[in-house]
Amino acid sequence: MNNEKTTREIIEERIAPKKRTPLYSRGALKKIKEEFKRWKNTVVREPDRENWEVTPHTIIGSEIPRELLYTPLSNAELDYQADLGFSGEEPYTRGVHPNMYRGRAFTMRQLFGAGSPKECNRRMKALLEHGATGTNWALDLATVQMFDSDEPESRGQVATVGVPIDCVADMEVICKDIPIDEVSASIVTHYPRNTAIVFPMYLVMAERRGISWDTLPGSVQNDFIMESLVRSASEYIPPRDDFRIQCDNIEFLRKNVPQWNYVTLNGYNLREWGTSGITEMAVAVANGIEILKEMTRRGHDIDWVAERLAFFWAPANDFFEEVARMRAVRRLWYKIMKYRFEAKKPRSMWMRCHVQTSGVSLTREEPMNNVIRAAYQALAAVLGGAQSLHVDSFDEAYSIPSVEASLLSLRTQQIIEAETQVTQVVDPLGGSFYIEALTNDIERRILDEVDEIEKMGGIVEVVTSGWLHHKVIRHIEREQRMIADGQIKVVGRNYHRDPNLKMPDVWVHEYDEKINRAMGDKLAKLRRRRDNQKVSRCLKALVEACRRGDNVMEYTLECARADVTEGEMRRAFIEAFGLWKPPIYG
């Protein structure tokens, strides 16, 4: 297709001439090799020798074969400085900060949002009073899918799984009395279009409170993979246009809200939809590469752009795989930034991430078992060096979490942080023969998949063609068969299932029709009191900006200032870009 070198080719070319300093002496390795052979043939039992390698099968696992025992021979060429180094230094395998959690504990960021904007404000304040160190907003489906609360599509779904936001006034209620210049907010605007519409409402709210945008800490998701690939929806715009909006948002935020993390490259939802831990990371990394290429094309300095880029990962049940994955992608991202993009600032080379424990690995059967699953997953994330954490609640296979389940999740984090002492030592598993071999293997596999994507024309192309959609569908179908035939063991469901199993009475969030009506009344009033001519002008300007190729957020900001609603802006985008049909529906 073109002669551009792939990321892997560039990295390999740049690393090849570097002289390596192996940690192990040839003599020692030779001796270990002889002894290993003797031990394996005489001490290890025949069946263990024959099944030396096993492949773990787990939900959304990566099926990487594991040996019975790892030794220096598993990583015989290890060069300590080149491959591991010290924490806070290249290649950042051991962590992005020299002192890691001794300097600052991971941010305990429990996702929350349900009920009216007022209720959301009350519960976010309660979580902060219990020691949460940031807010993390779940938006309701109408808001995520960019419909106003009073559109026919929103019927029955307003405020069910998150907070509804139609306009700036809702932002003002959600953030009332929260010091938004001190407490960082993770606003889970999954999609580029959703970010372009909702985030300016946050900025206008700050403006009306007299708070300078320079001081605002937080993050948005803004990931076109979420909008064009992972989600299900009734309307899509073409992935190429969606990718452009993602980049427009980044450019605007970088210029105007300097402390804001403008993209969270979301591996999480892709993996939870149904893919391995390798594909999760490869897709997010490939999107990151494409963004940085586009920003360079737009003439921006790579370090100016890259220092605020962040990732979002899903740790599942295979404990050591999860620890190794975090280390592997940290080293790979460093190599990409250093060699592919020639970044100069250390911060640009950091793979910083938020982690949420895996929802699809939870079961409806015996839901208290989910407390254990989530705790192990959270521990793996911390041992892997995550910056920020959400622990799923045990009742999430039933409903959005109850107040007490949500508190238990926060307590799980606090126990890891304050009682287990795992945060005292940086990268405590580093140097383990097993962990290092697995880290190498995973890094290689991620880069292989990035290479595969690049050779097919890059991330936008593999989304547009449906190649990634079908990869996920195959994964989901195969995984389901493996659960049905017991190859994947799920305790309490298909393994050691209680023959007298009864589904427990778990609290579930109930739909409150009143909120839907109240949101509708508010919109009706808003449409009467605002300057509707100004609204039309702003929307027309937005459509034209989309068509001309101007940065869309400049225009959605003006829309927000004029009290344009979310649904109105969504329709402007559709008018400008037209509809796209994802290649999975027949």
Partner 1 sequence: MAPPKNKIKVLLAQFPLEAHSRGIITVAGMLKDAGMEVVLIGNELPERIIEAAIQEDADVVGISTYCGGELALGTDLMKVAEEKGIKDNTAFLLGGIFPPRNIPELEKIGFSGAFLSANKEEIVACIEKAITVKKGAG
Positions that interact with partner 1 (CB under 8 A): 140-142, 144-145, 147, 152-157, 160-161, 231-234, 272-274, 360, 364-365, 397-399, 472-473, 476-477, 480-481, 484, 503, 508-511, 582, 584-586
| Cα–Cα distance for residue pair 119/447, rounded to 1 Å | 45
Q: Where are the beta strands (DSSP E) in 128-256?
A: 134-137, 184-187, 218-220
Cβ at position 183, least distance to partner 1 in Å: 27
Select 229 or 302, whichever has its Cβ closest to partner 1: 229
Cβ neighbours of residue 548 closer than 8 Å, sequence gap 6 or more: none
Q: How far is CA 421 from CA 320, 425, 428, in A?
A: 19, 8, 11
Partners of 66 in beta bridges: 54
567 closest CA partner among 540, 539, 547, 541: 539
Show the CA angle centred on residue 236, arms to residues 230 and 239, nearest 5°: 70
The total number of residues shown for the chain amounts to 586
Token duo for residue 135: 């807010």
Cβ at position 481, least distance to partner 1 in Å: 7
| Cα–Cα distance for residue pair 274/410, rounded to 1 Å | 26
Give 116's DSSP letter: -
Contact 492, 369 (CB under 8 A): yes
Select 425 or 501, whichever has its Cβ closest to partner 1: 501
Cβ at position 164, least distance to partner 1 in Å: 12
| Cα–Cα distance for residue pair 223/280, rounded to 1 Å | 13
Select 548 or 585, whichever has its Cβ closest to partner 1: 585
Select 41 or 234, whichever has its Cβ closest to partner 1: 234
* Long-range contacts from 15-18, C-beta under 8 angstroms, 24+ separation: 15/335, 15/339, 18/82
Contact 517, 149 (CB under 8 A): no
| Cα–Cα distance for residue pair 94/88, rounded to 1 Å | 8
Cβ at position 222, least distance to partner 1 in Å: 16
Select 279 or 413, whichever has its Cβ closest to partner 1: 279
How do strand 263-266 and strand 352-356 relate by DSSP bridges? unpaired
How many other C-beta atoms lie within 10 A of the C-beta of residue 316? 27
Cβ at position 142, least distance to partner 1 in Å: 6
Q: Give the ranges where 402-466 is alpha helix by DSSP (H).
A: 403-418, 433-455, 459-464
